[in-house]
Amino acid sequence: IVLTQSPGTLSLSPGERATLSCRANQSVSSNYLAWYQQKPGQAPRLLIYGASSRATGIPDRFSGSGSGTDFTLTISRLEPEDFAVYYCQQYGSSPPYTFGQGTKMEIK
C-alpha cells in the first residue's frame, strides 16, 4: 500500500484549524491507519490509531477520520507546540509497513 500525504507543507497561524490528508492507493483494511507527530530532534509520537482513536495523553484538539482510502487528521485550534511534521502509517496487514512522506506544518 502506498500512502500519499497532502499538502507537503502547511503554513498556518496559532489558533487556526489544520486539515491534513492521507490517501492510500488501495483500501486500508479495518481502517488500520495511524498518525504520528515528529518535532525537530525528537522521535515520532503516536497521535491516532484505528483512523480515529486518540492515543493516551493526546489532547482532544487532535482528531482523525476517514475510511477505505481517504483519511484526515484535524487539529481544531493550533497551539505553538503543534508545529511539526506529521506522518500517516498503515498497519495490520503483512509487512512491510508503509508511511506517508509526511506533512510539515509551519508557522505562517
Partner 1 sequence: EVQLVESGGGFVQPGRSLRLSCAASGFTFDDYAMHWVRQAPGKGLEWVSGINWNSGIIGYADSVRGRFTISRDNAKNSLDLQMNSLRAEDTALYYCVKDSLASGWYYFDYWGQGTLVTVSS
> What number of chain residues touch partner 1 (CB under 8 A)?
25
Does 7 participate in binding partner 1 (rule CB under 8 A)?
Answer: no
Does 10 participate in binding partner 1 (rule CB under 8 A)?
Answer: no
Does 49 participate in binding partner 1 (rule CB under 8 A)?
Answer: yes
Structure-block grid coordinates of residue 42: 525528537
First to last CA, the chain: 33
Q: How far is CA 89 from CA 2, 13, 20, 107, in A?
A: 10, 26, 13, 24
CB 72 within 8 A of CB 22: yes
Residues 79 to 108 in contact with partner 1, rule: CB under 8 A: 87, 89, 91-102
Place of cell 505553538: 80
CB of 77 to partner 1, least distance (A): 25
- 12-20, 35-43, 59-67, 69-77 -> range binding partner 1 (CB under 8 A): 35-43
Strand ranges across the sheet with 3-6: 3-6, 18-24, 70-75, 62-67
Q: Rule CB under 8 A: choose which of 1, 12, 23, 46 binds partner 1.
A: 46
Q: Which residues bind partner 1 (CB under 8 A)?
A: 32, 34, 36, 42-46, 49-50, 55, 87, 89, 91-102
